[in-house]
Structure 1
Amino acid sequence: MNYKEALQNPIFNIISKSSKELGVDSYVIGGFVRDFILNRGEHKDIDILAIGSGIALAKRVAKALPNQPKVQVFKTYGTAMLVYDDMDIEFVGARKESYNENSRNPVVENGTLQDDQNRRDFTINAMALDLSETNFGNLLDPFNGIQDLNAKIIRTPLDPDVTYSDDPLRMMRAIRFATQLGFTIEKASLEAIYRNKERIKIITNERIVVELHKILESDKPSIGFLHLERTGLLHYILPELTALKGIDEVEGQTHKDNFYHTLEVVDNIAKHTDNLWLRWAALLHDIGKAPTKKFSKKVGWTFHAHEFEGAKMVYHLFKRLKMPLNDKMKFVQKMVFMSSRPIVLAQDIVTDSAVRRLVFDAGDYVEDLMTLCEADITTKNPKKFNKYHNNFKIVREKIIEVEARDHVRNFQPPISGEEIMTTFNLKPSREIGKIKEVIKEAILEGDIPNEYEAAYELMLKEGERLGLKANPKA
């Protein structure tokens, strides 16, 4: 392979020239090199390693560029960054690191290229391309990263116990790369993750969530969550999921393993949407089943109100992991809370009123809800599988038909509270709410069309029933 092809962008020649002027050696290292070899498309994050000051090199490169971009300096970490041609280019000086037991923040000293490659997380991320004038484009691969790329293996450059204990986030990264790339984690490395799993407790939730997002955004997220569960990491990160694992049996009656079912649902939904938060909803849609699981002789295993319980758990989970408690969290809550509605609907005769209520409650998210519920069909019985999907097709068609006719999505009542007050000379009172509720229910049930005239007539009738007199001037 001609590695010079990776360095065709003019920026690399500019870095090479600037390095020579400063009298330092420089290299492209890490993900950019890995992804070029894997032919994974354009890599917009470039790590430049300087055997010397990375900050000084960044400033010299910025001066040599036509637009002289601003250099962001992070003195604490000895790094600097600039943006050029839509690429984030980070400069760092070669270093060696030592760690203490209770922190993933290392004690950093200046080091050689070898020191820096030794401290890298995986062999496939330790490869570097030389930017010196004489060896421009030469590959430096001390740990046979190329071999591991070809064999599709995730392996640490040094002892995996040391690598993972020093920086436990690397355990999450190993699993994330295995998921994204479809690679196998080397046996010794996997066993080391299991041994060091408790060390994940020193990593901030924010850093963990970044890796969880990347696992969820991959083509087959179940790979990552199976690794997380088997190594014991999931117990520390998402105990709500590990609580779903296992099958109980009482008097010969069992229930399905809701953990493995959940992973099937996540893989199913990943085939149909890139919406990260809808994928989160798929991951969490059954978390309420563990605390609501009960057995009775009459009906067997039940999970009554698990959607309601699950929606409450979503808030606490997001808060614990320091995830956003905004509209994204509310969207996931809503999807979890409504996750069984279309399933129940698809099992019965699909009535207009039931579909109207579904659209009314789901609003703009009705398509997302249907996508989630279709992903929830994991039966291995072909007859049942086809039946459920055909029923969902009918529900989808009914949604389009009902919405076109009745306009209940993001429903606004044809009669406002102000008009009810004016009509009956009322001040704010319970009667206004009662009349509005009657009109809403009549529209959702299909007793009246979603139109002003019909709603006005019903308002007058309901007002009369409540003993209210209409204002003749209204």
Structure 2
Amino acid sequence: MQINLKQNKNLALFKLISRVAEVNNQSVFIVGGYVRDLLMKREAPTDIDFVTEGNGMDLAKKTAAEIDPKLKVSIFKTYGTAMFKHKGLDLEFVGARKESYSEDSRKPSVETGTLEDDQKRRDFTINALAISLNKENFGELIDPFDGLLDLKQKIIRTPLEPSQTYSDDPLRMMRAIRFASTLNFKIEENSLNAIKNESERIKIVSKERIMVEFNKIMLSEKPSVGLKLMEQTGLLPLIIPELTALKGIEEVEGQTHKDNFWHTLEVVDNISKNTDQLWLRWAALLHDIGKAPTKKFDKKIGWTFHGHEFVGSKMVKHLFHRLKLPLGTDMKYVQKLVKLSSRPIALIDDGTSDSALRRLLFDSGEDLEDLFTLCKADITTKNAGKQEKFKKNFEVVAQKIKEVEEKDQIRNFQPPISGEEIMEMFKIKPGREIGILKEKVKEAILEGEIANDKNEAKAFVIKEAANLGLKIQA
């Protein structure tokens, strides 16, 4: 099959590479994701991989020199690859190779091979497609494993025997599920069974590499596609057992609770319709993880999950640490949303006090809108009437909070009187009294005892300081 590259915006580059390879007496082919996306008529990726039956590093250097002698080429001798950037593209060159693997590592032993050898080592048939850039057959599609047919039928299949493919490099199991989730493809049955059989092999892969694939699943249009496949194949309990611990429905004395695992997947899909923000989607994924360790049955009220938000927020840090996810602001953001995930629901009652609204404003700060996005996604009832009622209730709470915010300016609260000012007023050095007085000011403002105002805060501090034996100093 011939691919028409005449309209391709990179045609001039492809022609140049073709000429350099010919002069160098090398063959050269475009391979991998660029070919796949070109055939799928998807937006072209900015990274393009080239395979040569020869020295890839040499071809990269000579191509770069032809484009611009000043172009910097990065060489990776261990892998026999070289790459450089050109007009917003990442161009990578590699010599065709054979690979063999040891049982305890996903790093292969490599030796020189042919294009066919190189295509055999690819993860999936849809990524084993190649386009020739050689003069005699420029633009010809080379497809030894029917990858084009799999593209048309939307199937994920391995070029070789799937168990061997996944055992050799277990990260491919995550990649199979990621492609199924992001491309909306089906994993071929033998391949799916092989992932189930080889799932334990994922343990030899670094958490960082696993999370790169997992986050791509989380950013797909419908993350539950990938999450369900991870659960079905046994990968999810090996990676995030806190989630699969939520599975199942228990019954005691005729009373049951919902399956919090499948509920969680619904919440993630719901929130994904409204945000592409990765860590907000993570907050949806983890919002109920505290329910497994806090689940209890009470004869009077049935199933309870008291304090699951607080317990869940504590679990977030351990989970992020284990998975090598960022432990800074991203982790704290997810922790905060998990901890607050049930608070807005408790404020729906008409009798909600302004102080409760102020506290939510204070605790959520600039993340209040994200918290409400999470809470709305948490509505998974199939009863249309109930769903509409819940959404209207949230709108009422949002309006109440807006009114309190305009009046009291609590969001991103900064104390109207600083510790330095308190020290100056009473001519004292730093000590526990400063912290006590600042905390009392904060509580008084949140309870509505005083306004968020410097003069009122100063008068309040003078009164409270007397109880600590402090007197104003002129």
Cα deviation for residue 7 of structure 1 reads 4.2
The answer to whether the aligner puts 1:191 opposite 2:205 as a matched pair is no
Report the TM-score when normalising by structure 1. 0.96
Which residue of the partner structure matches residue 351 of structure 1?
Answer: 353
Which residue of the partner structure matches residue 278 of structure 1?
Answer: 280
Which residue of the partner structure matches residue 341 of structure 2?
Answer: 339
Mapped partners of 1:336, 1:44: distance in 2: 36
Which residue of the partner structure matches residue 257 of structure 1?
Answer: 259
The answer on whether the counterparts of 1:350 and 1:395 sit within 8 Å (CA) in structure 2 is no
The answer on whether the counterparts of 1:266 and 1:283 sit within 8 Å (CA) in structure 2 is yes
1:247–1:31 CA distance, 2 compared to 1 (3 A): same
Moved more, 331-340 or 188-197: 331-340
Paired residue secondary structure (1:196): helix
Q: 1:181 aligns with which of 172, 180, 183?
A: 183
Superimposed CA distance per residue, residues 63-93 of structure 1 (whole angstroms, 9 cap, x where no aligned partner) = 0113642111111111111111111111111
Cα deviation for residue 418 of structure 1 reads 2.2
Q: How does 1:232-243 map to 2 (within 5 A)?
A: 232-243=234-245
The answer on whether the counterparts of 2:3 and 2:141 sit within 8 Å (CA) in structure 1 is no
Q: 2:87 aligns with which of 70, 85, 88?
A: 85
Q: How does 1:89-100 map to 2 (within 5 A)?
A: 89-100=91-102
Which residue of the partner structure matches residue 217 of structure 1?
Answer: 219
Q: 1:140 aligns with which of 131, 139, 142?
A: 142
Cα deviation for residue 369 of structure 1 reads 1.2
Cα deviation for residue 309 of structure 1 reads 1.3
1:6–1:254 CA distance, 2 compared to 1 (3 A): farther
Paired residue secondary structure (1:246): coil
Paired residue secondary structure (1:46): strand
Mapped partners of 2:69, 2:446: distance in 1: 60
**Paired residue type of 1:424:** F
**Paired residue type of 1:469:** K
Which residue of the partner structure matches residue 5 of structure 2?
Answer: 4
The answer to whether the aligner puts 1:155 opposite 2:168 as a matched pair is no
Cα deviation for residue 250 of structure 1 reads 0.7
1:6–1:250 CA distance, 2 compared to 1 (3 A): farther
Q: 1:18 aligns with which of 1, 17, 20?
A: 20
Which residue of the partner structure matches residue 77 of structure 2?
Answer: 75
Q: How does 1:416-427 map to 2 (within 5 A)?
A: 416-427=418-429
Which residue of the partner structure matches residue 324 of structure 2?
Answer: 322
The answer on whether the counterparts of 1:7 and 1:137 sit within 8 Å (CA) in structure 2 is no
The answer to whether the aligner puts 1:119 opposite 2:121 as a matched pair is yes
Mapped partners of 1:251, 1:81: distance in 2: 66
Q: 2:40 aligns with which of 15, 38, 42?
A: 38
Provide the alpha-carbon RMSD of the alignment: 1.6
The answer on whether the counterparts of 1:6 and 1:36 sit within 8 Å (CA) in structure 2 is no
Which residue of the partner structure matches residue 463 of structure 2?
Answer: 461
**Paired residue type of 1:91:** F
* Shift >4 Å, 4+ stretches: none
Q: How does 1:398-417 map to 2 (within 5 A)?
A: 398-417=400-419
Superimposed CA distance per residue, residues 315-344 of structure 1 (whole angstroms, 9 cap, x where no aligned partner) = 111111112211111111111111111122
Mapped partners of 1:105, 1:432: distance in 2: 58
Which residue of the partner structure matches residue 48 of structure 1?
Answer: 50
Moved more, 230-239 or 415-424: 415-424
The answer on whether the counterparts of 2:21 and 2:28 sit within 8 Å (CA) in structure 1 is yes
**Paired residue type of 1:36:** L
Mapped partners of 1:375, 1:337: distance in 2: 16
Paired residue secondary structure (1:468): coil
1:6–1:80 CA distance, 2 compared to 1 (3 A): farther
The answer on whether the counterparts of 1:3 and 1:139 sit within 8 Å (CA) in structure 2 is no
**Paired residue type of 1:241:** L
The answer on whether the counterparts of 1:356 and 1:408 sit within 8 Å (CA) in structure 2 is yes
Paired residue secondary structure (2:85): strand
Instruction: Kindly tell me the number of residue pairs found equivalent between the two proteins.
Output: 472
Paired residue secondary structure (2:50): strand
Which residue of the partner structure matches residue 303 of structure 2?
Answer: 301
Superimposed CA distance per residue, residues 291-329 of structure 1 (whole angstroms, 9 cap, x where no aligned partner) = 111112122111111111111211111111112211111
**Paired residue type of 2:297:** F
Cα deviation for residue 154 of structure 1 reads 0.6
1:5–1:268 CA distance, 2 compared to 1 (3 A): farther
Mapped partners of 1:45, 1:314: distance in 2: 34
The answer on whether the counterparts of 1:359 and 1:366 sit within 8 Å (CA) in structure 2 is yes
Mapped partners of 2:69, 2:368: distance in 1: 47
Cα deviation for residue 465 of structure 1 reads 4.4
Cα deviation for residue 399 of structure 1 reads 2.8
Mapped partners of 2:38, 2:465: distance in 1: 73
Q: Which runs of 5+ in 2 are unaligned?
A: none
**Paired residue type of 1:334:** K
**Paired residue type of 2:231:** E
The answer on whether the counterparts of 1:124 and 1:149 sit within 8 Å (CA) in structure 2 is yes
Moved more, 218-227 or 427-436: 427-436
**Paired residue type of 2:396:** I
Mapped partners of 2:94, 2:23: distance in 1: 17
Mapped partners of 1:389, 1:429: distance in 2: 47
Paired residue secondary structure (2:29): strand
Moved more, 232-241 or 395-404: 395-404
Q: 2:373 aligns with which of 371, 374, 390?
A: 371
Cα deviation for residue 382 of structure 1 reads 1.5
The answer on whether the counterparts of 1:104 and 1:168 sit within 8 Å (CA) in structure 2 is yes
Superimposed CA distance per residue, residues 38-61 of structure 1 (whole angstroms, 9 cap, x where no aligned partner) = 121121111101111111111011
**Paired residue type of 1:274:** D
The answer to whether the aligner puts 1:131 opposite 2:149 as a matched pair is no
Paired residue secondary structure (1:76): helix
Paired residue secondary structure (2:79): coil
Mapped partners of 1:384, 1:67: distance in 2: 67
Cα deviation for residue 174 of structure 1 reads 0.4
Mapped partners of 1:349, 1:192: distance in 2: 57
Moved more, 231-240 or 61-70: 61-70
Mapped partners of 1:326, 1:416: distance in 2: 26
**Paired residue type of 1:157:** P
Which residue of the partner structure matches residue 312 of structure 2?
Answer: 310
